[in-house]
Structure 1
């Protein structure tokens, strides 16, 4: 059956919202906390942690765009300025974290791809407003690249370095974890920038490796929407209502009708919810209908749900047990 103009518009809107950053209360809360601690400046690491699928990547993208907007006037006066840099700590097949790849990724964002051998000095070309590297003896070692990264960050005026997928940095022994975290803290000091590290609960414990790290690392919890919290349930339903509205009626109210089911199945994690909705839209487009049956087929399986729930419970218990409590304070139920 041929789709009506309204149906086509709704389908287009539904697809569009999947690639759209949709803010919700929890993101706003974490951003407020990050901005409150951001002025601590260089030498400190802000560590944003939360469960898998909670929406850390969307949070990082939103925070990145917000920071760029804040520095807009400075950038208009200095076209060579890059005030905020967002990088991913990439996983590789190697046993250890690849620092050379990490530093090279930073340099590529600051300079753009180039075939010029690594040089020894950096500056900003007044004509192109690009960081340049004079020809010279290659120093393509981790230590050499580290020095170049420090100089490039300072030359570009980077004030905040955001590192996504922080677990790839800390998924090592405690000795190596301390060494790698010390390296980040040192990079912050030497380059004069604030570092914000994003990761799942596996990055917890970094600040307990030494007294120096405990003093320099500030943990920020990006939590899910709990089903045992009335406020969280209202906020989750509000997000679903926003999706229904932005999709121009494509879901026929099914998301709101199944709010409780969706919150329980996705464990209150917005990133997981969006993955589920992507599958739902794909099925609905294939079968030419939006139905309860297709929505339920898109849910996490019992095995998937159990695995994610166990990971979240362990992470939440660890986060809460490691927070300092005044005498008489009560721990929130998981």
Structure 2
């Protein structure tokens, strides 16, 4: 593949546009690669075809592109819900929320539920109350029923909102934060199970391989409610995956609005790109975004090794990431009883 205009993947008129427009174009460009398509199809299939109230756990390495996975799943579920949306204008097909890292011993579930309800634009959240009757005995020994007003339970409010809005899925990204609490994991699983059952909505937990730690210890009573989808990286040990990852890099470079493509860099030293991304497409895109910004600042006609060198992660960080990823892959293989070919798995 050469550097001619005919081999550029972007509209050539972008070369006459502003730096901001070119940066936005490349920033928005996504390669719908095989592992991304497989994971999207697996998750959507489980959401729409299994009985309500199931929990779907999606695991993958840091940098694999989970944010884009969530975006694609959301778009597909909204597309599938079009008939429902025509008959029910209040329907919210899917709700996406991110779990923040806990700053104390216990995960802040009420904050997560409130965030989801705000995304759903649930009205008058601060006015939600619950009416309860409390039976007590007065000084005369008589039973007395006292009516009380209690601040609404945000989980119960969310359960009702998901059910009445006919949501097919609640997607919780960065879900490893939700379960990263010592000695609280069983209780937290119970919370998620209760939410799924009472809302009659699929709960999709998307996170890193840290989730495998909790899956290993999962109580057997949960196994009929939990499905597992792996969103893996591309392995350098599988020829077809190496070829696919190389093509992904080339697609990104062809869509980088510069006068000449830099695909020769890939052909000259593919393993340079692999070393600092470890086969993770999200990490690759983040690196290329930074390198492209630098090339634009330099008013360069093409991306160079210098731009890549100045924006890559350190070798030390790369080695740390590799250990974390391979540990997670081994745990994932153990949980699923799968082989090590890393072709993408659904359990």
Which TM bucket (shorter chain)? 0.7 to 0.9
Q: What whole-Å deviation, never above 9, does each CA across 1:90-111 have from its counterpart, x for those lacking one?
A: 2242331101101111211222
Between the aligned partners of 1:15 and 1:239, the Cα distance in structure 2 is 19
On the 8 A contact 2:39/2:229 being kept in 1, the answer is: yes
Between the aligned partners of 1:44 and 1:236, the Cα distance in structure 2 is 33
Between the aligned partners of 1:36 and 1:115, the Cα distance in structure 2 is 33
Structure 1 equivalent of residue 85 of structure 2: 75
Alignment of 1:107-126 (within 5 A): 107-112=117-122, 114=124, 116-120=126-130
Q: Which runs of 5+ in 2 are unaligned?
A: 1-11, 132-147
1:64 aligns with 2:74: yes
Partner of residue 317 from structure 1, selected from 330, 342, 347 = 330
Alignment of 1:162-311 (within 5 A): 162-173=171-182, 175-207=183-215, 208-250=217-259, 252-254=261-263, 256-257=266-267, 258-289=269-300, 290-311=303-324
On the 8 A contact 1:240/1:259 being kept in 2, the answer is: no
Per the alignment, in what secondary structure is the counterpart of residue 73 of structure 2? helix
Deviation, structure 1 residue 302: 0.9
1:47 aligns with 2:60: no
1:88 aligns with 2:101: no
Output the TM-score relative to the length of structure 1: 0.84
Runs of 4+ in structure 1 deviating by more than 4 angstroms, as ranges, are 112-116, 248-251, 330-334
Deviation, structure 1 residue 264: 2.6
Q: What whole-Å deviation, never above 9, does each CA across 1:249-285 have from its counterpart, x for those lacking one?
A: 5562245334332123200001111111122012212
Between the aligned partners of 1:18 and 1:155, the Cα distance in structure 2 is 37
Q: What whole-Å deviation, never above 9, does each CA across 1:180-226 have from its counterpart, x for those lacking one?
A: 11211111110011111100011114333211122321111110011
Between the aligned partners of 2:163 and 2:232, the Cα distance in structure 1 is 34
Q: 1:206 to 1:139 in 2, by over 3 A?
A: same
On the 8 A contact 1:236/1:268 being kept in 2, the answer is: yes
Output the TM-score relative to the length of structure 2: 0.81
Per the alignment, in what secondary structure is the counterpart of residue 53 of structure 1? coil
Between the aligned partners of 1:80 and 1:36, the Cα distance in structure 2 is 24
Deviation, structure 1 residue 42: 2.5
Between the aligned partners of 1:172 and 1:201, the Cα distance in structure 2 is 16
On the 8 A contact 1:10/1:248 being kept in 2, the answer is: no
On the 8 A contact 2:54/2:201 being kept in 1, the answer is: no
Alignment of 1:134-145 (within 5 A): 137=149, 139-140=151-152, 144-145=153-154
CA RMSD of aligned residues (A): 2.6
Per the alignment, in what secondary structure is the counterpart of residue 82 of structure 1? coil
Which segment is superposed worse, 263-272 or 253-262?
253-262
Which segment is superposed worse, 255-264 or 176-185?
255-264
Per the alignment, in what secondary structure is the counterpart of residue 293 of structure 2? helix
Structure 1 equivalent of residue 170 of structure 2: 161
Between the aligned partners of 2:228 and 2:13, the Cα distance in structure 1 is 49
Q: 1:10 to 1:270 in 2, by over 3 A?
A: farther
